[in-house]
Amino acid sequence: MGLTQHSSPQPIAVVQETIEYVERFTYLGSVISSDGDVEADINTPLAKAAAVFRRLDNVCRSSTLSLKIKLDVYTSLIVSTAIYASETWKSTGRICQQLDVFRQRNLRKILGITWKDHVTNMEVVSQTGQRRLQDIVAERRLRMAGHIIRMPPGRPAMSWTPRGSGRRRGRPTKTWRSTFKEDLVDRGVDWNRVRAVATNRSKWRTLASIVLSRTGGSKS
């Protein structure tokens, strides 16, 4: 199975069998698309997490379970499913909004709050103490970046540019690499410092702990 963005791709045969070209396919739980975009890949775990959450309706409605237990179940089952493999995601305004809507909808369900109650998102977060999913995803990107930067010189993953991907008209496409650099800027960390430190695991762990403390665990 191969990916294509062209209407008439060059046929590829393996053991005399022609490989089928598709716009997207699922591999190890992740959706691979022909245009390299991750939004389809993000929608998939969110949909799976929503399905799991619906099956836990009795848990959310239970009057005998404490809020802490409900939130622990939410974190261990729902959040882990929703942001599966999220260290590979880029970040856009639309993606952040998807994550925010997903979190707020579930937390309101756990608290038994409806739109009729006129409770703000800030109040919901204050009652649950749950962090933004995009902050958790940013932490995962940072941890994976350390492994990528430490790759041998012959595998320059952070500087590699595919052929034929020169500057095009319009706004540049958001990528994982540009998202990671934005993560660093948001936390006041210099990219050159990151590259210099990443090769030393001990220094990297120290820098990572500083950066993660600046993630802010924002809950708004």
**Backbone phi and psi for residue 90, each to the nearest 5 degrees, phi listed first:** -85, 180
Q: pLDDT tens digit string along 23-79?
A: 766 766 666 666 556 677 788 889 999 999 999 999 998 999 999 999 999 999 999
Residues 6+ apart with CB under 8 A from 52: 77, 78, 81
pLDDT at 147: 82
- 12 with 74, same domain: the answer is no
Question: Is residue 23 domain-shared with residue 47, that is, in the same domain?
Answer: no
The confidence score (pLDDT) of residue 41 equals: 74
**pLDDT at residue 110, as a whole number:** 95
Shared domain check, 50 and 8:
no
Task: Sort strands 21-22 and 2-3 into parallel, antiparallel or unpaired.
Answer: parallel
Q: Which two tokens stand for residue 11?
A: 């046929």
Kindly state whether residues 84 and 4 are assigned to the same domain: no
- Is residue 19 within 8 A of residue 12, CB to CB? The reply is yes
Check whether residue 69 and residue 125 sit in a common domain.
Answer: yes
Expressed as residue numbers, the domain containing 79 is: 39-131
At residue 133, the pLDDT reads 92
Token digits of residue 57: 């309706």
Per-residue pLDDT of 91-149, as tens digits, reads: 888 889 999 999 999 999 999 998 888 899 999 999 999 989 988 888 888 888 888 88
pLDDT tens digit string along 162-173? 555 555 665 667
Say yes or no: 102 and 58 in one domain: yes
Task: Give the DSSP H or E segment for 203.
Answer: helix 201-213
Confidence (pLDDT) at 27: 65
- Answer left, alpha or beta for residue 16, where phi above 0 means left and psi between -120 and 50 means alpha: left
pLDDT at residue 1 tops 90? no
Look at 66 and 190; give whichever has higher pLDDT.
66
- pTM as predicted: 0.73
19 with 46, same domain: the answer is no
The reported pLDDT for the residue numbered 65 is 94
Mean pLDDT confidence for 80-94: 88
- Is the pLDDT reported for residue 186 higher than 70? yes
What does pLDDT average to over the chain?
A: 80
